[in-house]
Amino acid sequence: MSQLALASNVSKSGDLFPIRPAFGTKGKEVIVWANYFQVTLKVKAIYKYTIVAKEIPTESNPKPRDQLKPRKLHEAIKAALAILRGNQPQLRVATEFKSNLFTMQKLNGNNEKVRVNLPRGPDSNDFDVVEISFEALTEVPVDKLLSWLDSMQDTQNDGDGHVFPKHPDVVDALNGFIGNQARTSLDSVATFNNNFFPIDARSRIQELLCSDRPLVAARGYFSSARIGTGRLLLNVNVTHSVFKISGPLHEIFDRMHIRPAMRNDASVRRLRVVAKFLAKTRVKAKFQIKTGKTLDRFKTILAVVTRSEISRRARGDQAPRIEEGWEFPGPKHIQFWLKNDQGEGGRYITVYDHYKQKYNMNLGDHPVLNLGTMDKPSFFPAEVLTIEAGQKVQAKLTGDETTIMLDFACRTPYANALSISTDSRDILGLDDQALADFGIGVDKNLLAITARVLDVPMVSYASGGGGGGGTRTSDQVPQNASWNMRNVKVVRPGKPIRRWTWVNLIYRRNDRPVDSDVVKNFGTFMSKNMGINIAPEPIPLSAEALNLSPDDDDMNKSNLRLMFQEAKNKNMDHILLVLSQKDSGAVYSMVKTLGDCDFGIHTNCVVADNFRKGSPGYFANVGLKWNLKAGGINHKLKDETGVLKDGATMVVGYDVTHPTNMSKQKSDAAPSLVGLVASIDRSLGQWPSVSWAQASKQEMLDAKLTEAFASRIALWKKNNNGKTPKRIVIFRDGVSEGQYAQVLNLELPMIREACRTTCRASEQPAISIMVSVKRHQTRFYPTSTDEMSRSGNIKNGTVVDRGITQVRYWDFYLTAHDALQGTARPAHYTVLLDEVFRSRSKTEAANELEKLTHELCYLFGRATKAISICTPAYYADILCERARAHRHDLYDDSASVSTSTATGTDWQSTPDRVHPNLRDTMYYI
């Protein structure tokens, strides 16, 4: 929960978190289902305790860990709860098995601290002693929430409604109770915050073994309590994530064709990839004790055994021996020192012979695992290890893995709605008696709510009869949120592209380069068919093709640099790079860094197989990028309405992207990246940008925002005869509800300062700030085939501002695009500050904002379709990705080995260095 600090004297209180002026009325009314269930709450009181767990030293464990491992903590809390219930039979409790306990009654005094004994292993007489304390008792104010739901009026403590989100402590408690049943059993459901993945017979998985990584995609459910208008709701959605593969390890090795490998074997590279993902993997190891009984114990894989690591770390007279030449040895290649039964003396024996002699096991030919330490390894064959299910992985998927993942996750809206209505209730325990005993009920049916389908805006191009930029226009009426450029040209061509060239980047020996005739056809198409101001024929460089090495990034960069230098010497404006294989990694990043930052030459990458076909649609899509980079305008709205009509409104989008899908060490070192774009005139066709790096995982922008924002106003003045904007409409992307007030407390003052330094005191612009979010869990489903898209989704242009929202706050969900497959994800917009719309349109302000936001989705310059989130927010997101490409070494967490390195402080000493030639262009598109 965050609260607004009204220290600023430049914003009126009513403009901050403004009250919804009215519900929207424009568009055709329809009924849709939302992925929400209504919740009934019959609870008098909820109490919250903080859980503190501490392991007590014992004779067998004199120096326990400071922190318990998650599984051990779960077992300790579970045992402690059994003691609580024994002492208080009527006690109703729930927990996330980490730090919080929620109860319906206060704990008795003797229940506030308990000790539990956890066996150190099966059939073990030794116990670990864990002390569990339940501290910091607070009463969760359920009565205040219920009262607020009845009246929807803010209390004296929040008369202006500036505390947001509302009643988070009660919502947290409800989530604790609702998810309690699923969290209880580690063997049936894997839980991550509010995401629940079944790992028993109910699991739904898809293996992702195509890139030699032991991964699977899994389907689960997201669940979170939400506050609506006058009622409580439960938001449930289908979710997907990536996990380590589970099951007997030797069977996994067999499916992946994993075998021991000698030092010079080609499979060593594959094994290093596998080994990276098996490290720190939880397994069940089969042990045979002296009685002959076989037991399972939970262990963690330290590493796949390699000769280089064992030789470096394991020393001494009795150090393990690995047969010469084997980098990833099998059980026959490793000898370890086996002590005699009497404990004196011993002998060397292979892992294979040991298991044959002691357990009568014939081991297969698989790599061996180390479950000990590097200094004191403990060797286990794959046959005795089983990987536990439910181990989530933070990893960037390869292209092939992504394709399989998307195929698995891409389901029809009906399939997802059916799963939510049926399977999720079983996984989450929504119909269990235990939930009813808490006084919580969850309705059986999805919520039916009122939505509206907005009118589609018309877009305009230059008529195909003349050159681009002519006065004659051709208006297009989008169908299913898309249109085509047949017989039309761009509205305004950019600066002349006089000198341009192309290079084939060859990834594999047998890859075929694209012929120069295809490139010439592309140039002619842009010039004649699209009206782009470009010389039809390219100027060749000394070599039309450049061979790349799959293993030597430094050599690739050196060769690319030589090519760019030649292009620079020949005064090239643009370079077309034809990739023989699709690439979004190191080579792509090198190209963009060299072009955008080092040489100041625009670059466009295309894939050879697609480009050589020469289809008009493909050429047009690529050509749109060229015109935007050159400063042109591809299309515009036919009608300027509302705040756009007088040409005095600047529209801004900005976003922050954080290090993701990386190891913790690397993600902590890599910076977060800010991208800010802004329109420069009334056409809303050009959106130059500025980007910078800031502290890792910091969402709120740093002090650079003032200078960056001022530079956008200066660019507006340059393109509007020295006039500053009267209004600035800002779309702030990606902020969570708990950070809304921080945007106003921390970022708004810097924006105000930028306005003060660039605009006269009498011409300070009115500002509105909307948060735009795509990463949420709300979905809508059509209730009638008459209101269904081709893919079974709701129709494009559907807006929802009631039913699941809170009447006090001004927000809405908009599905502007036509989802071709899967379930359409609406964008969610929330107004944090409004000095623009209500003062102009009064009760029509909601309609005007929804219309503007909808129409902005039709202004994405590199496509002929509406996009799912408004254009400035999407451009800011693309800009952040380009800034990430400029710092590839900081974000690359792949298993491949490169001689290039980057330290965690490099980003602080490296200036933001987009080349001056490109700085005020859409180089990032």
Q: What is the pLDDT of residues 391-439, one digit of tens each?
A: 999 888 988 999 999 999 999 999 999 999 999 999 999 999 999 999 9
Averaging pLDDT over each range in 66-70, 319-323, 663-667, which range is the top one?
319-323
Task: Give pLDDT, residue 896.
Answer: 36
> How are strands ordered across the β-sheet holding 727-733?
689-694, 672-678, 649-657, 727-733, 766-773, 827-834, 811-815, 798-800, 447-453, 28-34, 780-782
* pLDDT tens-place string over residues 522-532: 999 999 999 99
Asked whether the predicted pLDDT for residue 904 surpasses 60, the reply is no
Cβ neighbours around 364 below 10 Å, total: 16
Q: How far is CA 277 from the centre of its chain?
A: 20
866 within 8 A of 477, measured Cβ to Cβ: no
Confidence of residue 909 (pLDDT cuts 50, 70, 90): very low
Is 695 exposed, middle or buried, given 0-12, 13-18 or 19+ CB atoms closer than 10 A? Answer: exposed
Identify the bridge partners of residue 473 per DSSP, sorted by sequence position: 462
Asked whether the predicted pLDDT for residue 327 surpasses 60, the reply is yes
d(CA 692, CA 699): 13
The pair phi, psi for residue 42, each rounded to 5°, is -120, 70
Task: Give pLDDT, residue 471.
Answer: 65
Q: What percent of the chain has pLDDT over 90?
A: 80
Asked whether the predicted pLDDT for residue 866 surpasses 80, the reply is yes
Question: Taking residues 306-325, what's their average pLDDT?
Answer: 89
Asked whether the predicted pLDDT for residue 547 surpasses 50, the reply is yes
Q: Domain 493-629 - what CATH class?
A: alpha beta
Task: Give pLDDT, residue 694.
Answer: 92
* pLDDT tens-place string over residues 255-286: 999 999 999 999 999 999 999 999 999 999 98
* Token output for 680: 């420069």
CB half-sphere exposure, 516, CA atoms < 13 A: 11
Per-domain boundaries in the chain: 16-35+639-885, 40-246+401-445, 249-387, 493-629
Task: Give pLDDT, residue 338.
Answer: 94
Asked whether the predicted pLDDT for residue 898 surpasses 70, the reply is no
Task: Give pLDDT, residue 1.
Answer: 53
Q: DSSP readout, 796-844?
A: TTEEE-SSSS-TTB-EEEEE-S--SSS----EEEEEEEESSHHHHHGGG
Residue corresponding to tokens 């697609």: 610
Is 96 exposed, middle or buried, given 0-12, 13-18 or 19+ CB atoms closer than 10 A? Answer: buried
CA dihedral 813, 814, 817, 818 (to 10 degrees): 70
Task: Give pLDDT, residue 426.
Answer: 96
- CATH T-level fold of 249-387: paz domain (2.170.260)
* pLDDT tens-place string over residues 767-826: 999 999 999 999 999 999 999 999 999 999 999 999 999 999 999 999 999 999 999 999
Task: Give pLDDT, residue 316.
Answer: 78
Q: How far is CA 216 from the centre of its chain?
A: 18
Question: Taking residues 131-155, what's their average pLDDT?
Answer: 91
Eight-class DSSP state of 109: G
Looking only at the bridges linking them, the beta strands covering 636-637 and 447-453 are: unpaired
Confidence of residue 908 (pLDDT cuts 50, 70, 90): low
Mean pLDDT in the chain? Answer: 92
d(CA 166, CA 263): 61
Q: Could you name the CATH architecture of 16-35+639-885?
A: 2-Layer Sandwich (3.30)
223 within 8 A of 196, measured Cβ to Cβ: yes
Cβ neighbours around 136 below 10 Å, total: 11
Question: Taking residues 748-752, what's their average pLDDT?
Answer: 97
